[in-house]
Amino acid sequence: MKIKTPQPIRGTQDIFGEDSLRFNHVVNKFDEIRKLYGFKRAEIPVFESTAVFARSLGETTDVVSKEMYSFPDRSGEQLTLRPEFTAGLTRAYLTSGWQQYSPCKIATHGPVFRYERPQKGRYRQFHQIDAEVIGAAEPEADVELLSLADQLLESLGIKQHVTLHLNTLGDSASREAWRAALIEYFQGHFDSLSQESQERLTRNPLRILDSKDPNDKIIAEKAPIIDDYLTEEAASFFKAVTTGLDAAGVAWTRDPRLVRGLDYYRHTAFEFITDQLGAQGTVLAGGRYDGLSEALGGNLTPAIGWAAGIERLAMLIDEPKEDAMNVAVIPLGEEAKNPAISILSKLRHAGISADMSWRGNMKRRMQKANGWGVRYAVILGEEELARNEATVRSMVTGEQQAIALDQIVDRILSELRNK
């Protein structure tokens, strides 16, 4: 009886070939740019106590109530696969002694998990890059983080298709005054709101502003905006952010309807939006979350961060070119195999990319070498071995010469450096 091959779980993906090239190009660029800004790499567990996300994201949010992968472990503790990075990084900041590095500039990437309907560019296990500044109350931290995001998108070659949408949520006093005004306004239109927005009205009225319901959108267009309720301090903070972005050469557009519903979000909120992905236009988003540490039992700790989906960014970039191999080692006959393995090892330890086909005659192995795009072929046959030599052929010019086995690595290194 033939065993049926298990199929991948719905909403997951196997990444290889061109998809892998795109994926790793995004990750490598992120790693390259974050170093320019002094952001240190951090690693945190892929699962946390469920309370970490329930407290940080809010018990009534869709992520917590509908989308989290939660389960009891064998001891009965309730655990959750991370649906995002910020809560786990804040927990680590509070429990792992990271306060000594404050302001803590952190960068990470990896898989996150949400149970939602899979569609193009959206999976149940997907991957994010994430950058945070924890312990900095200054608006310069906001400018720093947004500049990092802007330069990353530029280095990926997609900045021309992306617009930074920026808003302020004000400080606590500003936000509370605005929230009260929104409740009063939307109560006057209660019967016309969607059921979802009616449920949000007293619990999370700011979320009505980003409702996808067409009628909700019409009502929200005339809702009070935050500017009418900003304290002098909050207005000054936002002004410092926008003038800082101007000084850094980061283009932005004001979006007074852009919100974050959870109470611990303060001041800056932003999204980088593209016109290349249809309805799923947000490719990178974040905001200042000064109150999150308190929600997790810590002291008041100012912080700001953003996350971006790697798969979504990978869809926007041009196909990267895979780095070609430098050398193909071609043994001819059984006696040449181990000497070929020895040369292959020495080339790699010298930092020269090299590979060897394990089967086929001379013609097929040379075809394989051409497919790899190598610059040189090192050919080992009986006659070459008898002279303790190998034939090194330039795959660019066709020229070849006999070189002693113990000189091959140095010769190829020299040739590559002179190119």
Residues annotated within the binding site for L-histidine are 84-86, 114, 128, 132, 260, 264-265
> Distance between CA 145 and CA 248 in Å, rounded?
11
DSSP 319: P
Instruction: Report which of 94, 97, 155 is spatially closest to residue 299, judged by C-alpha positions.
Output: 94
Pairing of strands 376-380, 70-72: unpaired
CB 291 within 8 A of CB 265: yes
Helices (H), 156-306: 172-187, 195-203, 214-220, 232-248, 292-295
Mark the binding-site residues, compressed into ranges.
Answer: 84-86, 114, 128, 132, 260, 264-265
CB 118 within 8 A of CB 10: yes
> Distance between CA 213 and CA 222 in Å, rounded?
15
> Distance between CA 21 and CA 49 in Å, rounded?
34
Kindly give, in sequence order, each residue whose CB lies less than 8 Å from that of residue 337, ignoring residues fewer than 6 positions away: 331
- Per-residue burial over 309-347, b if 16 or more Cβ lie within 10 Å, else e, is bbbbbbbbbeebeeeebbbbbbbbeeebeebbeebbeeb
> Distance between CA 252 and CA 152 in Å, rounded?
15
